[in-house]
Amino acid sequence: MMLKLPKDFIMGGASAAYQVEGATKEDGKGKVLWDDYLEKQGRFSPDPAADFYHKYDEDLALSEKYGVQAIRVSIAWSRIFPNGTTDKLEPRGVEYYHKLFASCKKHHIIPFVTLHHFDTPLKLHEIGDWLSPVMLDSFVDYAKYCFKEFPEVKYWITINEPTSMAIQQHVSGTFPPGEKDRFDKAFQAEHNQNVAHARIVNAYKNMNLGGQIGVVHALQTVYPFSDSPADKHAAKLQDAFENRLYLDGTLAGKYSSETISLVKEILDANNQPMFKSTEEEMKELDKAAHQLDFVGVNNYFSKWIKAYDGDSETVHNGTGAKGTSVSRLHGIGEERKPDGIETTDWDWSIYPKGMHDILMRIHDEYPLVPATYVTENGIGLKESLPSNATDDTIIDDPKRIDYLRKYFAAIIDAINDGANVKGYFIWSLQDQFSWTNGYSKRYGLFFVDFPTQKRYVKKSAYWFKKLSETHELED
Ligand code: BGP
């Protein structure tokens, strides 16, 4: 059977500045939280990544050729303001993004531009990152500067995945500063990001620039491992921990009483204090939710949660050794996949129904949201260049095509069920480095040979082009 995407559905590719640009020491860029941290870890370097700082025009030309109509890029805050604060402006950084957006225009590609994608300037990270009021004020100043400076951008995204940032910084410890089990800090950082997001949405709307503004969330669909009341409750707690505080804060403009009581339950179980919010902040959240233009959904996998009352224990699979990840959170629950669920080498479940269910949830539970984009989805695979490769070598990636076909079918199902999904961005446009996994976890439509940064096309790019041109998904 032939499944169809709506006529005006946008087909895009996604990236993040720090994962593709490289050039971390070039043209006056300030340090970010990752630079020294990665150097100390010694596992991999953010330079030259995919060398997008120099190769953007080549990637955009390839994108145009393979049916990519829009791209998600992020602005590296510390290229514009090296210290994060507006006291010092770096004109070469500003110039770079003007050139990047001009190249988008030349190649008929719409930029969706994220203001913060995990790359807090080091000076602000050192004083508390999302826990510091100075960070919030500086972020608003930087955002307003960008809105004025780059009128060519018509789609803005405030923050990429506030959840991932807060949890990985303060609970699982996989992002700098690498803290574990500080649920209180994670929830406070989540609330603060909701506030920063709201202030920026409200500022943007006051400026009347005629573009659109949204936010991007990491949304894992959470299911109970079994029908037992204990597992069902554990799944609710996990959902509150990962999804609900953001969804409520940015899409409804208020936290429901159930969300608050679930959050409190988690914190009480861990003997940690509730996050603080003010009435004024809640008014800002409410105002922003009523003016938001779209939400971006990043969905790769789903989770199944089982009741658990032991100590917290998390192990990150950062190498692609299947079956090595562990997540047991005290006061929440334990991740456990039911038999028969397919997984990637990094233990991410392949479960397209989860995409359908999360899109429907936004449609059903958050009626203020005018439009949804899938802003990230894709599969990380171990891929290599054949030793006899020539310029025309095409990388065969049948697993990616299979994954995409299944997830697109789920998206079309959701659209047919009433979800207003207006576009899709594959993670990722080109191979780039993964924050906690390095260069071996490849997601791109375009293969990057990391020592030389030369591009090769993957078969999935041909598949993507056909879908982009026909909007028809073959079974
Ligand atoms: C999202 C991030 C991306 C990207 C992607 C894949 O959470 O927004 O920046 O990294 O996930 O994740 P990973 O790199 O861990 O495989």
The whole-angstrom separation of Cα 161 and Cα 116 is 9
Q: Which residues contact 61 (CB under 8 A, 6 or more apart)?
A: 107
Q: Is the pLDDT of residue 87 over 80?
A: yes
The catalytic residue among 161, 190, 242, 376 is 376
Report whether 242 contacts 220 (CB < 8 A). yes
Pocket test for ligand 1, best of 217, 434, 439, 440 (most atoms within 8 A of CB): 434
pLDDT bracket for residue 1 (50, 70, 90): low
Active site residue 376: yes
Whose C-alpha lies nearest to ligand 1, atom 16? 434
434 lines ligand 1 (CB under 6 A): yes
Taking the CA of residue 216 as reference, the ligand 1 atom at the shortest distance is 8
Spell out the alpha helix ranges (H) of 150-228. Answer: 162-170, 183-207
345 lines ligand 1 (CB under 6 A): no
* Nearest alpha carbon to residue 324 among 343, 299, 305: 343
CB-count burial class (<10 Å; 0-12, 13-18, 19+) for 416: exposed
pLDDT in tens, 118-148: 999 999 999 999 999 999 999 999 999 999 9
The whole-angstrom separation of Cα 383 and Cα 448 is 10
* Nearest alpha carbon to residue 327 among 306, 299, 355, 350: 306
427 lines ligand 1 (CB under 6 A): yes
Cα-to-centroid distance, 219 and ligand 1 (Å): 12
Whose C-alpha lies nearest to ligand 1, atom 12? 434
Averaged pLDDT score across all residues of the chain: 97
pLDDT in tens, 412-448: 999 999 999 999 999 999 999 999 999 999 999 999 9
Confidence at residue 451, expressed as pLDDT on a 0 to 100 scale: 86
Q: Tell me the domains of the chain and their CATH numbers.
A: 3-473 (3.20.20.80)
Q: Which residues make beta-bridge pairs with 374?
A: 297, 424
pLDDT, mean of residues 153-162: 98
What does the block give as tokens for 170? 């303060």
Q: Which residues contact 458 (CB under 8 A, 6 or more apart)?
A: 383, 394, 395, 396, 397, 400, 444, 445, 446, 447
> In this structure, what DSSP letter does residue 131 have?
G
* Nearest alpha carbon to residue 102 among 156, 56, 52: 56
Q: Give SS3 for 255.
A: coil
Residue type, 427: W
Whose C-alpha lies nearest to ligand 1, atom 6? 434
> In this structure, what DSSP letter does residue 307 have?
-
Taking the CA of residue 378 as reference, the ligand 1 atom at the shortest distance is 6
pLDDT in tens, 335-389: 999 999 999 999 999 999 999 999 999 999 999 999 999 999 999 999 999 999 9
ipTM above 0.85, yes or no: yes
What does the block give as tokens for 440? 């071996």
